[in-house]
Amino acid sequence: MVRITYIPSLLPGNVMYHCLYPSFRRRTKTETWTGRSGSPLLDYHFTEIRHVGLCSIFCKNGKRILGERVLAKLNSCYVYTCESRNPFLQIFFFTLLTGSLCIFFNTGWKEVPGPYLSSFHLFTIPLEVLFTYACYYIACAADPGIITKDNVKKYMELYPYDGLIFEAKDCTTCKIPKPARSKHCSMCKGCVARSDHHCAWVNICIGHNNHRYFLLFLFALWQFLLYGVYVCFQIYHGKVQSWGLSEAMIRDAATGQDVPLKFRKAMLYVLQEDRIVGALGILCAVVSVIVFCFTLYQLYLLARGMTTNEAFKWEMVQDAIYRGEIWKWVNSKSSSGSGYFYREFEPEETTRGIPPLKGARMVKDFAEVPNLYDKGIIKNLVQILFPTEV
């Protein structure tokens, strides 16, 4: 069987693409797949996911050992915990944040103002706390841009199909057309416009409407954590001063002479004596690095004009290019102007290296495949910060 799908494209120029599939078919060793990923190039990935041999072995034996009822209960627990919208991580984050703040106000607050912390911090610390809570609430509560029958037309106009990673199709669950860049979220129970990812920390999808609030929350959290590190450090710095450690001398074991106590050793001494503020400072430092890395990744994707969901799809495209499975087809006689072609071959039809259609040229470099949604850093940023009202 040879299947050819033609998808009209909005890309400039008479350009078409071919995709050959033999290599992934050999790799996955399964022919029973029905679902579509939303992209002709990515279906093979879902073929791999459906190849769940280990899981079926566990289910078979689990039923025998635990019994049907226990297994069903375990399954429903798993579905609620891992596959449904639940507030577990929200509660965890809220408890960690509130608990840490309670500990700080109980122990470190009395050190403000101190030798290295002016009374200005008596206002900025509560302000920072309120700002972080407010940003978190907004990120959790904002509508991500759920696609409905009423607004689907506007989203279709806003995000055209590129025919490579997004093709025209309906959502099988919502029974409405699926605009490009959207993704159905089984947890949010709907298709989300320009879906980035489902974030369990805010318990909602990040999409067209709330991406700006998510970035605001990341920024708020990151600067709050850095501020936390600064405050904890300066509290310790003040203790080094007030305990007289900055002028303290210690006897050098090697020379037998008295030498001034180094700042690093003085800080370690304070940490030994008063561990709580130090532990909070270290926690803030560790989490701030994680939040910073994640924010940096989000900004990188923003600069490249792609969402987290699309980054994954582009990776698949890149892999397909390296395997020599994507072909460029320039059709000057095409009445529709331009578009993509996707062709699926049976294993025996493998024609690696041979053009699937006359005149086709193998895409050898990822740079040859344009990203229709990348409008440049400034426009990408504006699109996220000021999304079109739908």
Of 140, 142, 174, 363, the residue at the interface with Zn ion (CB under 5 A) is: 174
What is the dihedral angle through the alpha carbons of 129, 130, 133, 137, rounded to the nearest 10 degrees? -170
Binding mask 202-221 for Zn ion (x = CB under 5 A): ---x----------------
Nearer to Zn ion, 174 or 306 (CB): 174
Q: Interface with Zn ion includes 181 (CB under 5 A)? A: no
What is the dihedral angle through the alpha carbons of 361, 366, 368, 370, rounded to the nearest 10 degrees? 130
Q: Interface with Zn ion includes 139 (CB under 5 A)? A: no
Q: Is 102 labeled as catalytic in the residue annotation?
A: no
* Contact set for Zn ion, span 87-106 (CB under 5 A): none
Q: Interface with Zn ion includes 184 (CB under 5 A)? A: yes
Q: Interface with Zn ion includes 200 (CB under 5 A)? A: no
The pair phi, psi for residue 387, each rounded to 5°, is -65, 150
Q: Interface with Zn ion includes 198 (CB under 5 A)? A: yes
- Between CA 23 and CA 32 the distance in angstroms is 16
Give me 74's structure tokens: 């375990």
Q: Which stretch binds Zn ion (CB under 5 A): 44-52, 169-177, 244-252, 337-345?
A: 169-177
- Between CA 6 and CA 131 the distance in angstroms is 51
- E-strand ranges in the chain read 3-8, 15-19, 183-185, 190-192, 197-199, 204-206, 249-251, 258-260, 326-330, 339-344, 361-362
Q: How far is the CB of 145 from Zn ion (least distance, A)?
A: 11
Q: Could you count the other beta carbons within 10 Å of the beta carbon of residue 121?
A: 21
Nearer to Zn ion, 152 or 215 (CB): 152
- Between CA 272 and CA 243 the distance in angstroms is 14
Q: Which of 135, 199, 232, 284 is catalytic?
A: 199
Of 41, 139, 152, 191, the residue at the interface with Zn ion (CB under 5 A) is: 191
Q: Interface with Zn ion includes 185 (CB under 5 A)? A: yes
Which amino acid belongs to residue 94?
F
Give me 12's structure tokens: 């400039």
Of 165, 188, 316, 363, the residue at the interface with Zn ion (CB under 5 A) is: 188
Q: Interface with Zn ion includes 384 (CB under 5 A)? A: no
CB 201, CB 137: distance < 8 Å: no
Q: Which stretch binds Zn ion (CB under 5 A): 75-83, 111-119, 185-193, 254-262?
A: 185-193
Q: Which stretch binds Zn ion (CB under 5 A): 120-128, 183-191, 354-362, 369-377?
A: 183-191
Q: Interface with Zn ion includes 173 (CB under 5 A)? A: yes
Task: List contacts with Zn ion (CB under 5 A).
Answer: 171, 173-174, 184-185, 187-188, 191, 198, 205
Please give the positions annotated as active site: 199
